[in-house]
Amino acid sequence: MQKFGYTAISGGASLRLGKGLKWIAYYSSEKKWAFTLAEVLITLGIIGVVAAMTMPALIANYQRKALETSFKKSYSVISQAMQRLINEEGYIPKAENITGYAETFLLRKYFISAIDCFNKSSGSSESCVSSEKFSSWFDSFYKTYNKKTLASSAHWWFDDGMFVAADGSFIFFDNSNTDNLLIGVDTNGKKAPNLLGHDVFLFELDSETGAVRGYDGNNNRGDKASEYCDRNATSGLNGLSCAFEALKNPDEYFKNLP
């Protein structure tokens, strides 16, 4: 018959379970250390302060990067659409060629799933963004590069045609300010910030080469490019030539938006 026994040892105890078997349990008298509730709360408070200081900058950087990505995408879409038009129609459209619904319908053909939402006869953007007259809607919906109220004439650079593309962006056309056809874009449609030079840009189709480039402000009205993409300018047209500046160095441009 097997006998069992218990023996106390330093730092623990042993229990003899039988021949050749022994169970040993140890315990320690050393003190265990842990954070107090106050220390945990202080640490969380510090983390919260650091987050509050850094999150706005992180969010702003994310938003600016999103605007840059949308800008590049829209520029690519417009460039490809115009190149297809030139290749298939056999000519480079000039401002003088885009004078009515038939011509704007031709342009729409080269933007995939675009919806025509501009009625020139009534001057409205019905069924797309608003039932207001285009001029009233545009001048109240958008603001300048440095977030000022637009001039009442700002819509003149965008008001001869409007589409909504498949991705929700707005495409505008204008034929009256330059020999080159002007092509405007709101890269994210109805979404904010709705500011010239942030998510609204103006390009022009070079009537000689067929290249799409940023509108530089030079046209038959004598616009001054230096006044149209300047964070300190007071002009109600500030932002019209920002596509020209953005294409030089998109990364640097969007890092320094006002």
Residue 26 lies in a domain: no
Say which residue, 192 or 224, is predicted with more confidence.
Answer: 192
Domain enclosing residue 144, as ranges = 69-255
Residue 95 lies in a domain: yes
Q: How confident is the model at residue 179 (pLDDT cuts 50, 70, 90)?
A: confident
Closest Cα to residue 197, out of 75, 66, 57, 67? 67
pLDDT value at residue 71: 98
CB 247 within 8 A of CB 213: yes
pLDDT value at residue 35: 76
Residue 103 lies in a domain: yes
Residue 59 lies in a domain: no
The token pair that represents 6 in the structure block: 């218990």
Rounded distance between C-alpha atoms, residue 145 and residue 148, angstroms: 7
Percent of the chain with pLDDT over 90: 42
Residue 176 lies in a domain: yes
Which of 52-56, 114-118, 248-252 has the highest average model confidence (pLDDT)?
248-252
Residue 149 lies in a domain: yes
With the C-alpha atoms ordered 246, 250, 252, 256, is the resulting torsion angle positive or negative?
A: positive
pLDDT value at residue 85: 92
Q: How confident is the model at residue 142 (pLDDT cuts 50, 70, 90)?
A: very high
Residue 21 has phi, psi (to 5 degrees) of -120, 135
Q: How many CB atoms lie within 10 A of CB 190?
A: 14
- Residue 194, C-beta contacts closer than 8 angstroms, at least 6 positions apart: 141, 142, 143, 186, 200
Residue 14 lies in a domain: no
Say which residue, 92 or 198, is predicted with more confidence.
Answer: 198
Task: Express each pLDDT in 203-226 by its tens digit.
Answer: 999 989 999 999 987 755 455 556
What value does the mean pLDDT take over residues 143-167? Answer: 91
The tally of domains found in the chain comes to 1
Rounded distance between C-alpha atoms, residue 18 and residue 3, angstroms: 6
Rounded distance between C-alpha atoms, residue 253 and residue 194, angstroms: 17
Residue 9 lies in a domain: no
